[in-house]
Amino acid sequence: MFPPFLEIALAQVPPQVHDQCLKAADYAGCVKANSSSNSVPSADSSGPGVDRFGLPKLDAKRFIGPDFVSIEGGDADFYTDIKSYRQLKNKGEYGRYFSYQDLMRYNQPAISGTSGYSVPITGPTTNCYGSAFGSVLGNYGSAFGSSNCTTNPGFNLQVPGTSGVSGGPRQVSIDFIIDCVDKTFQKDNKGGWKGWDKGSPKLWTALCGIINQMPLGEELK
């Protein structure tokens, strides 16, 4: 059902078998001959109906999974698109980088929106400008004058509100790029490169051993 290179990788090749077969002309055949089990995890996504999140089931001939992962607010199901595996060209050559895509399905909790509000920064101030003049005669006197006053209401910082988020099932795609030399990976072309210990080192080790069997893809960006 799966491409030969992927069947071997997903069987989680034991390290000693991987090392033994790495230089073999037929890596896949060598692994099968030296492994006690080469079972591939199957997807429970085939057939009609919906999954546990209420989303239509995926085609098990294309997607492997699910793997259950805890996330903030609950848990998620991860599926791998087996048709997404590609070697990536770097400096005109293949053999170092490959990419693939996962789908993540989860339930998004509802989040209420918030109202905006203002924060006083400076209080109101009043300034008056004007002139006065007058004369005094005995015990009587008079004065005349004028003034202009202006009031500044002060400054309030306006803090905008936030929009609410409706709850319900969600599906997002996650693109992986794997470096077989430095043993690093990147997700969605952001966040920088991270070590394999933060991901799936066993799977990526197996896939790097048979990277030349993957379809050719585009230039590494």
Q: Is 24 or 203 the better-scoring residue by pLDDT?
A: 203
CA 73 to chain CA mean position, Å: 16
Q: Is 121 or 24 the better-scoring residue by pLDDT?
A: 121
Kindly report, residue by residue over 164-190, the tens digit of the pLDDT: 989 899 999 999 999 999 999 999 888
Kindly report, residue by residue over 66-97, the tens digit of the pLDDT: 877 777 767 899 898 988 999 999 999 999 99
- Contact in structure between 9 and 213 (CB atoms under 8 Å): no
pLDDT for residue 60 is more than 50: yes
How is the chain split into domains, by residue range? 4-112+164-213, 117-159
Strands 125-137 and 140-152: antiparallel
Q: In degrees, to the nearest 5, what angle opens at C-alpha 21 toward C-alphas 19 and 201?
A: 50
Q: How far apart are CA 152 and CA 215, in angstroms?
A: 70
Kindly report, residue by residue over 24-41, the tens digit of the pLDDT: 666 656 766 676 544 444
Task: Supply the pLDDT for residue 74.
Answer: 74
Residue partners of 168: CB distance under 8 A and separation at least 6: 54, 107, 108
Q: Helix/strand/coil (H, E, C) string of the chain?
A: CCCHHHHHHHCCCCHHHHHHHCCCCCHHHHHHHHCCCCCCCCCCCCCCCECCCCCECCCCCCEEEEEEEEECCEEEEEEEEEEEEEEEEECCEEEEEEEEEEEEEEEECCECCECCEEEEEECCEEEEEEEEEEEEECCEEEEEEEEEEEEECCEEEEECCECCECCEEEEEEEEEEEECCCCEEEECCEEEEEEHHHCCHHHHHHHHHCHHHCCEEEECC
Task: Supply the pLDDT for residue 175.
Answer: 94
Nearest one of 214, 163, 218 to 8, comparing CA atoms: 214
Q: Is the pTM of this model over 0.75?
A: no
pLDDT for residue 8 is more than 70: no
Nearest one of 12, 16, 61, 60 to 37, comparing CA atoms: 12
